[in-house]
Structure 1
Amino acid sequence: MFSQLFKRKNKPETTKQALDIRSQRPSAGELRVRGLNETLFLAPLPVYTGQVPVSRRNFSAMNETYLELGGSNYGMVEQGKRLAVFILMILFMAFLAPCLVVLHWVLFYPENIREPLNELINAIKVFSSYALLSVLPIGAMVYGMLSNVRTLAKSYPVRFNRQRREVCYIDDTTHRVLIVPWESVVAWVARSQGVTSYGAMRDYTFGMGLEDEAHDTVQFILSAQPSDAHALGMWTAIRNYMEEGELVDTPNPMLAALGITLSEDELKPYEGLHTFEIERLDARALGRLDDGGGHLTAEERKRWGYSKRSPWPLRWWYVRRVLTFWKMPYLIAEWAHRKGRPILPQSVQAWSRPLPPEQWAQPSPALQKANALVKTAMDKKGANFIDACKAAGLH
């Protein structure tokens, strides 16, 4: 499976016991099969993979010095919108619904309505009493959102320092700091299969192992993924950042090929007030409102191959934002981003400060040689990742 995914066309969760990386040291490109479980190792020695980087939303911070994995507040805007819709439904049930009912009575059964105002007040009382029952699910929703923020505030992200070429992990319970060399990090993608009453099930996991030499242990970092492509893309994004400065110094190659340049707001790795403006620009783009040929008529646009303009995507976007209380979900996300970030130890803050370029750590000769061999085998000879790593003598 992994071999096919890594093929170059132009020429359940893995447990600690299943991955014994201390006594059975893995190598990049090594594939271990155990029953219905497959584990493909991508590192140590983080060589070129040739894959498309994805999973940008898993990163909570990125700059010229470090990249953080974990602690992202993505999804908070969507939760805020759901909360707004829930509140809107309650307000509709408590106030607008009784108004519509009484109006219906007045228009079609006027003989039964002698005092419309009193009937309206009584209807509002009845409907409001039922609407109050919705306080419980709203409270549960708010509690879940606050719990997520509290959990994020207690969970330290994994920080990758590309200037020092080191990785920092902080234990959430003991607050112990573990810093290991980047080239010693063990990374893998695991696929597990099983059969249930609902049919065959597949689980994909992206994992990393940081060896703690002082305690003779390994700190495992596991992340469930929807597919192996997502898991591979996450590692590729981390690897490309550390090795090539991608996402900071150089753009994503796919975006560069399409001629797309991300704005400062679009580069922010979290949701907040800037997300509101990004979504508005997306709505304008959907209606082709910012395309070229603004001086052309509809007939001229059709003749010269321009897409048809339509203001309706933007109009409906404004309608939906009004129904979800305008910027309320984005304010919630901005607050969650500020409150959901733990205070790092002073030693880690000092470790994260930028270094002068002359003090930057450099890739080892072994990694440089392996990268060149793997890249040549994959891009020029059409080999897959496993065979390329084997040709480079990594396993």
Structure 2
Amino acid sequence: MLNKLFKRKAEPVPPSAAQERQNPKAGEVRQIGTEETLYLAPLPVYTGQQPVSMQGFPEVNDVYLQVGGSNIGMVWQGKMLAWVIWLMIIMNVFSPLFLAVLLGIITPEGTNNTFAKDLSMLAELFLYLGIFTTPICVGTVIHTIISQTREQARQYPLRFNRQRREVCFVDSKTHEILIVPWEKVTAWISQGQMVTQYNATTFYTFGMALENEEKGTVQPILFDKPSQAHAIGTWEAIRLYMEQGVPTDKTGAWLRLLLGRELTEYELRPYEGLHTWEVEKLMKIEDRFPDVDMTDEERAKHGFLPRDYWALRWWYVWRVLSFWKMPYMIAEWGHKAGTPVMPERVQQWSQPIPPDQWAKPSPALQKATQLVQHAMDKKKMNFIDACKLIERKG
């Protein structure tokens, strides 16, 4: 959420209008400058990628899945605020002492300088310096947190209605409502590089485009992702929801294997807040102290980490340094700021409808999905080559 504070030089852009008129297809790869784009839809077929956890979406039910409006990342912002405060404390309090000691070591004998004089001079210098730098640095982080939270409180989330097989976008400025068929949504993954004087950084973007056929315009929606797998996994999670419904296994098999149990509803809250502090503590305890009656050999056999009684103690130390629950209180405030109330038309659109009125997937999508899934799972083809079979086999 600090993307306004740390802007990269080249923001990822949606495909150009000229390319959009060429009707991109699933599995197609296009090069736009230094950025490579892989299209996943229209025609949302099987990708073979492991979907991300459904807990990454702020709201999921039998009618719609909601993307956006989550405060995930605010705890990290609160910790960053704590780090900036500590940086100012170290610079303004400990730096004069360190420099005074250093001057005392390198100053030749017989001079009029003393440790007390140097410390007094440096303390005064850093005091005036801190008066100007501390409000700027701390204020910048606080302003970013507040402005990002207020902006999110004005942003309408994107909704995917699986019963109607439609996607709804509400413009936060004009409040205009755009509803498009699910199978006509264009989705892509972009991979590019940002080159600086220090290194080259690869960035990934998950994008969707909703076409307004009445106006002849396209509404792009972009999300920064840490990796290509995470980007495609986000789309696959949405696709699975739209095609199969709410997964029964919300926590994921890997999490059950890690903890040896299901998470509680308290732990499964899809946002960050004061409960996150307790969840992190519980995770740390279960990570280092599961099955305390097991011997070290048994723990190693079952893949548990070595028993470490300092693990939880260091966890408490870091929480003290990050001002205890302050980051989690900031996240709780961000969650309560929420998102705007959906317009009445969207609320009606989000109501459940009788099963006999549910929209059905088109024969073209059913055939294409079966073809791609068989090619990837049985013939071990990659996604791009498997999608080429759709056009070849009609």
TM-score > 0.5 by shorter chain: yes
Match of 2:283 in 1: 282
Larger displacement relative to structure 2 (45-54 or 308-317): 308-317
Match of 2:180 in 1: 180
Residue identity in the other structure for 1:368 = Q
Q: Offset of 1:275 from its aligned partner?
A: 1.0
Aligned counterparts of 2:303 and 2:383: Cα–Cα separation in 1 = 42
SS at match of 1:71: coil
The reply on whether 1:50 has 2:44 as its aligned counterpart is no
Match of 1:232 in 2: 232
Match of 2:264 in 1: 263
Match of 2:243 in 1: 243
Residue identity in the other structure for 2:62 = E
Aligned counterparts of 1:285 and 1:298: Cα–Cα separation in 2 = 16
Match of 1:344 in 2: 342
Match of 1:13 in 2: 12
Larger displacement relative to structure 2 (65-74 or 329-338): 65-74
Match of 1:389 in 2: 387
SS at match of 1:52: coil
Q: Offset of 1:90 from its aligned partner?
A: 6.6
Residue identity in the other structure for 1:17 = S
Shift of the 191–357 alpha-carbon distance from structure 1 to 2, 3 Å rule, reads same
8 Å Cα contact 1:59-1:269 kept in structure 2 = yes
Match of 2:370 in 1: 372
The reply on whether 1:314 has 2:312 as its aligned counterpart is yes
TM-score normalised according to structure 1 size? 0.76
SS at match of 2:40: strand
Q: Offset of 1:138 from its aligned partner?
A: 2.2
Gaps of 5+ in 2: 1-10, 97-119
Q: Offset of 1:47 from its aligned partner?
A: 0.7
Q: Offset of 1:326 from its aligned partner?
A: 2.6
8 Å Cα contact 1:65-1:162 kept in structure 2 = yes
Aligned counterparts of 1:220 and 1:248: Cα–Cα separation in 2 = 31
TM-score normalised according to structure 2 size? 0.76
8 Å Cα contact 1:62-1:269 kept in structure 2 = no
Gaps of 5+ in 1: 1-11, 99-121
Q: Offset of 1:199 from its aligned partner?
A: 6.5
Residue identity in the other structure for 1:384 = N
Match of 2:145 in 1: 145
Q: Offset of 1:239 from its aligned partner?
A: 1.3
Aligned counterparts of 2:301 and 2:254: Cα–Cα separation in 1 = 30
Q: Offset of 1:43 from its aligned partner?
A: 1.0
Aligned counterparts of 1:247 and 1:273: Cα–Cα separation in 2 = 27
Aligned counterparts of 1:43 and 1:138: Cα–Cα separation in 2 = 43
Q: Offset of 1:355 from its aligned partner?
A: 3.6
Residue identity in the other structure for 2:142 = V
8 Å Cα contact 2:272-2:331 kept in structure 1 = yes
Aligned counterparts of 1:303 and 1:378: Cα–Cα separation in 2 = 34
Larger displacement relative to structure 2 (348-357 or 337-346): 348-357
Structure 2 counterpart of 1:326, from 312, 324, 327: 324
Instruction: Summarize deviations over 1:268-317 as a string: whole Å, max 9, x none.
Output: 33211221122112211232x2x22x345668868998754332211222
Q: Offset of 1:179 from its aligned partner?
A: 0.8
Q: Offset of 1:13 from its aligned partner?
A: 2.3
Residue identity in the other structure for 1:313 = A
8 Å Cα contact 2:39-2:187 kept in structure 1 = yes
Q: Offset of 1:180 from its aligned partner?
A: 0.8
Query: Equivalent pairs: percent with the same residue?
Result: 52
Match of 1:59 in 2: 57
SS at match of 2:281: helix
Q: Offset of 1:223 from its aligned partner?
A: 2.6
SS at match of 2:391: coil
8 Å Cα contact 2:53-2:252 kept in structure 1 = no
8 Å Cα contact 1:58-1:70 kept in structure 2 = no
Q: Offset of 1:363 from its aligned partner?
A: 2.1
Question: Between Structure 1 and Structure 2, how many residues are aligned?
Answer: 358
Q: Offset of 1:175 from its aligned partner?
A: 0.8
The reply on whether 1:80 has 2:81 as its aligned counterpart is no
The reply on whether 1:31 has 2:29 as its aligned counterpart is yes
Aligned counterparts of 2:57 and 2:247: Cα–Cα separation in 1 = 11
Q: Offset of 1:197 from its aligned partner?
A: 5.9
Match of 2:209 in 1: 209
SS at match of 1:54: coil
Q: Offset of 1:358 from its aligned partner?
A: 4.4
Match of 1:68 in 2: 66
SS at match of 1:137: helix
Aligned counterparts of 2:180 and 2:312: Cα–Cα separation in 1 = 49
Q: Offset of 1:357 from its aligned partner?
A: 4.2
Shift of the 277–392 alpha-carbon distance from structure 1 to 2, 3 Å rule, reads same
8 Å Cα contact 1:151-1:340 kept in structure 2 = no
Residue identity in the other structure for 2:276 = T
Instruction: Summarize deviations over 1:44-103 as a string: whole Å, max 9, x none.
Output: 1111100122386863333333222222212211221233455567778999999xxxxx
Aligned counterparts of 2:255 and 2:37: Cα–Cα separation in 1 = 30
Residue identity in the other structure for 1:363 = P
Q: Offset of 1:190 from its aligned partner?
A: 2.6
Aligned counterparts of 2:257 and 2:300: Cα–Cα separation in 1 = 26
Shift of the 183–260 alpha-carbon distance from structure 1 to 2, 3 Å rule, reads farther
